[in-house]
Structure 1
Amino acid sequence: MKQVIANMAGTVISVLVNTGDEVQAGSDVVMIESMKMEVPVAAEVSGKVKVVKVNPGDFVNEGDVLIELEG
């Protein structure tokens, strides 16, 4: 299973994809606010969104799984 992982700790400000969406490698899928900056998190691989594990307002730590992809 392919996963999109948080690259830093912060608060999720938006989720840019929904379950079932197709994403391409390099596409931004989540925006995190960290140290007063908005930081995009991109998918490293292409695939179909299987599960979105976070919601806006959630705090995430570096290494947390944000989205699971299939395909």
Structure 2
Amino acid sequence: MSHGIKKHLIYKKDKWNMLTVEVNGKTLILREISDQWGEECHEFLSRPALMHWVEDRFAPEKFEGTEEEREEILKAFKEV
């Protein structure tokens, strides 16, 4: 029985800057597209592993944006 893939849009500034998470069974596939780095793909086998990456990637000292924007991104990940 296949549940298919459920796609979550975390953010999208434009077609060159976005981040999505696809849930495929137990696997979480994160795709980050940026005009700087192109497309990066990360695969996680659990939500805690995904959230660990998220906490590091969107750490307050690294994040280029407002605290509100950062909170929105973290909230979107938690809803995945």
For CA contacts below 8 A with separation 6 or more, give which structure has more relative contact order.
1
TM-score (norm 1): 0.30
The structure with the largest alpha-carbon Rg is: 2
More helix per residue: 1 or 2?
2
More strand per residue: 1 or 2?
1
